Amino acid sequence: MSKEFVLNTIIGDGSNVVGDVETRGFTRVDGSVRGNLHSKGRIVISEKARMKSDVSGTTITIGGVVYGNVIASERLVVLASGLVMGDIITRRIQADDGCLIHGKVAVCSTAEEWDATIAKYQDIKDIRLALSSSKESKKWKK
């Protein structure tokens, strides 16, 4: 069996994770995650999963709810039961009939387009972080 398909991490049904999760291999989510999920491998988000997370991995399959941005460096599959409330960046996408995607979708066909799109996404993310940090510091100065 290829290492790519070896199950590395399971967040089981009924599990609640608060905080960022980083994995190196195949990851399956059946529970709830509130925090970013980053994997260097494949990710499966089952129909039962509920996530308030930015999600990144190689090939991502979404059958549940993801409230956050999704970056799939190889391929994204959103099943009929899937809901994505956020922006998507990928090289290939399959959106099954009945799924719901609410956000911008960027499908990059070349390496140059991929690099430029990811760089732009990181810039926007950094700006939002800086703005939210300055709002928080102003709130505490009052």
Q: What are 33's two structure tokens? A: 């995650």
Q: What is the pTM of this model?
A: 0.85
Predicted pLDDT at 105: 96
Q: Is 116 helix (H, G, I), strand (E, B) or coil?
A: helix
25 falls in which pLDDT band (50, 70, 90)? confident
pLDDT tens readout for residues 34-63? 999 999 999 999 999 999 999 999 999 999
Cβ atoms of 21 and 35 within 8 Å: the answer is yes
CA distance 135 to 104: 26
Give the Cα separation of 76 and 107 in Å (integer). 10
* Domain definitions of the chain by residue range: 3-109
58 closest CA partner among 78, 77, 43, 68: 43
pLDDT, tens only, 60-91: 999 999 999 999 999 999 999 999 999 999 99
pLDDT band at 1 (very low <50, low <70, confident <90, very high): very low
Give yes or no for residue 135 having a pLDDT over 60: no
Q: What angle do CA 40, 44, 48 make, to 5 degrees?
A: 140
